[in-house]
Every structure is written in structure tokens, then in C-alpha cells.
Amino acid sequence: MNAVKPNRLIKGDTVGVIAPASPPNQESLERGITFLKNLGLNVKVGKHVSQVNGYLAGFDQERLEAIHELFTDPEVKAVICACGGYGTGRIAEQIDYELIRNNPKIFWGYSDITFLHTTIRQQTGLVTFHGPMLASDIGKEDSHLLSKEGFLQLFVPTTLVYTEQISPLEVLVDGMARGEIVGGNLSLLVSTLGTPYEIDTKGRLLLIEDVNEEPRSVDRMLNQLYMAGKFRDANGILIGDFCDCTPKRNLSLSLDEVIAHYAQLANKPAVKGFMMGHCNPHIAIPLGVQATLNTYEKKLIVDSGIL
């Protein structure tokens, strides 16, 4: 399926805010909305965003309807997620992907939103954006300038060149690799296996990141991806941030040992240290666009995600 890039934003455009997973912190969300307004955008907030249903932002039907409403609303040019959390996969099967295919627009988020990145891209071809969210990142008082600057790529087509000027990078397997970037949160990628929305890594660069998972859990998930052939199919591996993934027990392999083990098993060009995921700063990138990984120069070049 050919990649479909959404149209760029211009000042004065309206963007919609949704919470497809957990309820956002409302104070942080308000600061995030102010950030969007300061970019010259108008903001339309989904009706369910302030709802609380346990660890969900309202009932499944409410969150589903919000996605459909904002994608069909001709006034809304982008759909920005307030936060991640839990529960996005619960609504994936009910989403009208034909509706999204007929109304392509910017879609932005990460973490639990990984499930929607995967389903939307594989069902519609739409390029989506893996980037910091309004309440969980941008609305925090210590939000990094680089996290905020990532939103500028929605206004002007920009080629991202990621080098060690942004963060230290470590080569695990040498080589050159090119392909569409796919992936996101490791836990969510594993949860797609065996479903109609199973992550397709064939000929692609696979990005992985996670948070609050001990090395033994990361080991289990990476092993499952490995046995499912997802590393074999990929052209290269991008290892993002694994935040608070330290062992809680004395008898444990380190996270570095676990990741290195599977990178070497995969034997595909692999680099770790990308500030992508549950980190500050969080460098936003489009998913579903072509990118080139050059381990010899420790460089990742990512095509623009907009028209």
C-alpha cells in the first residue's frame, strides 16, 4: 500500500484533541492546548476527553465516536492525542478505516497510541506521527524545547537528520538500511501479534521503545517478536528510549544485555539511543515514510511526513 501523506497545517487551522486510551491530567492538558494555540492553531476538544471510566477516558463507544467525528469534520486538519495509557486496542476493531482513508489528516501520539498507528497505517496507508502528547508531555512544566519544536514539522515539509548532536548513539550491528519506519511501543507491538492488525515489518525499519518494564519483561517481548519473524523481516532496528526499565531484583540481566542479545540475533543494522518514547526531550518522527539508517556515520535520515 502506497504511503498517503496528510496535508500540512497553516496558522489559523483547527486541530482536534482526543484521548483514545486513558483520561488525561486536565491541568496538563490545558497547558498543552495553550501550546497549540500559541502555534496559531484553533483547538476543538473531543467531548469525551474529560470523562473517566476507571483507567479509560470514557466508554469505548465514546472514544470511538470521537475519532470518527474528528476525522470526518472538514474543519479539523489534525487529530492530536492528549495522552496514552491503556485501552486503545479495545476500539481498533470498530474503527471505520474507510472513513479515515477518505479523510486523511495528521494523526499524532505515541505509547498506547502505537496500536492505532499500526492499524491506521496498515489499513489506510496514512502516514502518522509518533510524538510527544499534550497532557503527558507538552503540558508538563519541564517539557523540553526539542519536544515542542517537533510540532513545527507539521507546518513545513522537513527532512529529519538525527545524529549524535541530538543524543549519544550506540551501534549494536553495523550496516546500512532503508525502508519505511514502523513501530513504537514494544508492549503494544507485541499485543498486535496474532490479530488482524499484526505489525508488518517486512522491508521496514522497526522502532521500539517502552516504559516501566523490567529487563525480564523486555526479554520476553523481544523474544516473541523474534520468534514471530519480525526482526528477520525488518531491514533495520531503531532502539528508542526504555524509560525506568531497570531490574527490581538482584539476579537479572541488564536492559543493555537483553537488547544487545536480540539485536545480534536479528543481525540487522541496529542503533540504540534515539530519544523517541517516554523521554524528555522526545523527538517526533513520522511513521510510514522512507528513512535511511547509516551506522557508520551514526545517522538516521527521515523523510517529511506531510505534503
* Active site amino acids: 111, 209, 278
Q: What span, in angstroms and rounded, lies between the C-alpha atoms of 264 and 162?
A: 23
If DSSP codes are grouped into helix, strand and coil, which group holds residue 242?
strand
Q: For 159-279, where are the alpha helices, taking DSSP H only?
A: 186-191, 215-227, 230-233, 255-266
Residues 6+ apart with CB under 8 A from 6: 78, 104, 105, 106, 107, 126, 127, 305, 306, 307
Q: How far apart are the C-alpha atoms of 269 and 284, rounded to whole Å?
A: 21
Do β-strands 176-185 and 290-294 pair in parallel, antiparallel, or remain unpaired? antiparallel
In a 3-state reduction of DSSP, which class is residue 163?
A: coil
3-state secondary structure of 60: helix
